[in-house]
Amino acid sequence: MTIPTKLLLVDDEEDFISALAERLRIRNYDTSLATSGEAAMLLIQQDRPDIVILDLKMPGMGGMQTLKQIKAKDPTIDVIMVTGSVDSKVGESALSAGANDHLVKPFDIKNLVEKIQDIRKKRGLN
């Protein structure tokens, strides 16, 4: 039995993260949800996740700002950026701001799982 990976899904589209979270749980990931950047920061404070799957565009505190705050708080938390924008610059700027990876919505869950596994491998968790 490997150590379960704690995931935090952050997106203002609740329908999206609720379904995604359920699917990840089916795949044995410990998953929690937040529908805004502010809520995500509160959750991180209570229970540190291993990987944050973060939407870039959100009302209020946007994805970019949340990313910076997470990295400032705990640089060891990995972040996969998720965006609806097809603009490749958006992903690049996320990477340069400290995100480990990025995905364009809609994506195949296999891709997400692969990226999660990549991060786990890198951390020697596997």
Partner 1 sequence: MKALWSKIRPKFWKAQVDLSGGEQDVSYYSRIWKVAVAGIASVSVLPLVAMAFMNMNQYQNALKAQLVFPVTRLVSNTKRTIAYFLHERRAALRYIVMDKDFDADCSMERLNRTFIRLKNSYGGFVDLGVIDSHGVQKAYVGPYDLAGKDYHTQPWFREVIIKGVYVSDVFGGFRDIPHFVIAVKQDQDDGGFAILRATIDTDRFNSLISSLDLRPFTDAFVINHEGVLQTPSRFHGNTLEKIKLPVPPNTTTTQVLEVQDNKGQPLIMGYAYIEETPFVFLVLKHEKELMKGVAKLRRNLGLFLALSLGLILVVILGAATHLVNRIYEADLTRTSAQHKIEHTNKMASIGRLAAGVAHEINNPLAIINEKGGLLKDILSLGSDLPPKEKLVGLIDSIISSVERCSVITHRLLGFARHIDVRSESIDLSQFIEEVLGFIGKEALYRNIAVSMDVADDIPLIKSDRGRLQQVFLNVLNNAFAAVDDGGRIDISVEPASPDRVSVTITDDGCGIPPENLRAVFEPFFSTKGEKGTGLGLSITYGLVQKLGGNISVESEVNKGTSFVITLPVRG
Contact positions vs partner 1 (CB under 8 A): 13, 15-16, 19-20, 22-23, 26, 57-60, 62, 83-87, 104-107, 109
CB of 99 to partner 1, least distance (A): 18
CB of 83 to partner 1, least distance (A): 8
Q: For partner 1, which is the closer residue by CB, 20 or 80?
A: 20
CB of 63 to partner 1, least distance (A): 9
Structure tokens at 78: 């990995």
CB 64 within 8 A of CB 37: no
Please list, in sequence order, all residues whose beta carbon lies within 8 angstroms of the beta carbon of residue 95, skipping any fewer than 6 positions away.
81, 101, 102
Main-chain phi, psi angles of 6, to 5 degrees: -90, 120
How far apart (Å, rounded) are the C-alpha atoms in residues 13 and 110?
21
Q: For partner 1, which is the closer residue by CB, 20 or 119?
A: 20
